Structure 1
Amino acid sequence: MEFQRQTSRRLHEEHGVTLELLGRLERVFTGRSGIYPPPDGDSNWPDFARRLLGAIEYEVARHFEFEEHDLFPHLERAGDGDLAQLLTEEHRTIREAAQPLTLLMRKALAGGAQPEDWQTMKVLALEFSERLASHAQKEESALLPVLDDVLDEQTDRELFGAYVAG
């Protein structure tokens, strides 16, 4: 689908990047891209773990905050408060799923993961991936088309500018 508003297009691009990373997450944690848990000295694991942590703690967090604080009020004013409320609830459950995962990943990066931690991390990672992928797909099919209708050109320009400025 081609979106008309800059804000919708930017969020669409971010969803694509997120879904690619989640695909890699699933390959790593199911052993399809190498041995899991990774053997000592595996240089791919720390690189992947740092990338995933950065995505969770910065990119996904920033994306959610922007939607909740800047976009969802526009939806509520336009009568789409139910959608905003549903997506906000999903943000909460995704954050809850991410928290123990990030703790275990940091433990593993520090060299302190025990054998049982690797299995727990796998379960948490796959749950996180499932939740976030489903959420991104929901935003693609429901949120982004609504934003194209709800945002006027000037509001879109202001929101997009503020978002990319950080």
Structure 2
Amino acid sequence: MEFQRQTSRRLHEEHGVTLELLERLERVFTGRSGIYPPPDGDSNWPDFARRLLGAIEYEVARHFEFEEHDLFPHLERAGDGDLAQLLTEEHRTIREAAQPLTLLMRKALAGGAQPEDWQTMKVLALEFSERLTSHAQKEESALLPVLDDVLDEQTDRELFGAYVAG
């Protein structure tokens, strides 16, 4: 789908990057490389873990905060408060799923993960992936088209500018 507003296009791009990372997460934890713990000297695991942690703690968190604080009030004023409320609730459950996963990943990166931690991490990672994938798809099909309708050009320009400025 081709989005008209800069804000919608930016969120669409971020969803694409996130979905690619989640596909990698699923390959890491379910493919042949999903045998854990990874062998000593495996540089792929720490690189992947750092990338995933960065995505969870910065990119996903920033994306959610922007939506909740800056976008959803526009939806509520336009009569789409139910959608904003649903997505906010999903943000909460995704954050809850991410917390124990990030703790275990940090423990593993520090070399302190026990064998049973790897299986727990796998379950948590796949749950996180399932929730965030579903959520991103929902935003693609429901939120972004609504934003194209709700945001006028000036508001879009202001929101986009503030978001990319950080």
Q: TM-score, normalised by structure 1?
A: 0.98
Determine if the alignment matches structure 1 residue 38 to structure 2 residue 38.
Answer: yes
> What does residue range 58-97 of structure 1 map to in structure 2 within 5 Å?
58-97=58-97
Unaligned runs of 5+ in 1: none
Asked if the contact 1:107/1:113 (under 8 Å) is kept, the reply is: yes
Question: How far did 1:41 drift?
Answer: 1.3
> What does residue range 107-146 of structure 1 map to in structure 2 within 5 Å?
107-146=107-146
Question: How far did 1:137 drift?
Answer: 0.1
Structure 1 residues 77-128: Cα deviation after superposition (integer angstroms, max 9, x where no partner): 0000000000000000000000000000000000000000000000000000
Q: How many angstroms apart in 1 are the aligned matches of 2:157 and 2:81?
A: 22
Structure 1 residues 37-79: Cα deviation after superposition (integer angstroms, max 9, x where no partner): 3111111000000000000000000000000000000000000
Equivalent residue pairs, number = 166
Asked if the contact 1:28/1:34 (under 8 Å) is kept, the reply is: yes
Tell me the secondary structure at the aligned position of residue 39 of structure 1: coil
Question: How far did 1:32 drift?
Answer: 3.6
Question: How far did 1:33 drift?
Answer: 4.1
Q: How many angstroms apart in 2 are the aligned matches of 1:118 and 1:36?
A: 6
Unaligned runs of 5+ in 2: none
Tell me the secondary structure at the aligned position of residue 112 of structure 2: coil
Aligned in 2, Cα 1:91/1:125: closer, same or farther, shift over 3 Å?
A: same
Question: How far did 1:31 drift?
Answer: 3.0
> What does residue range 149-160 of structure 1 map to in structure 2 within 5 Å?
149-160=149-160
Aligned-pair identity in percent equals 99
Asked if the contact 1:30/1:36 (under 8 Å) is kept, the reply is: no
CA RMSD of aligned residues (A): 0.8
Structure 1 residues 128-148: Cα deviation after superposition (integer angstroms, max 9, x where no partner): 000000000000000000000
Asked if the contact 1:3/1:144 (under 8 Å) is kept, the reply is: yes
Q: How many angstroms apart in 1 are the aligned matches of 2:135 and 2:122?
A: 20
Q: How many angstroms apart in 2 are the aligned matches of 1:33 and 1:155?
A: 46
Question: How far did 1:18 drift?
Answer: 0.2
Question: How far did 1:34 drift?
Answer: 6.0
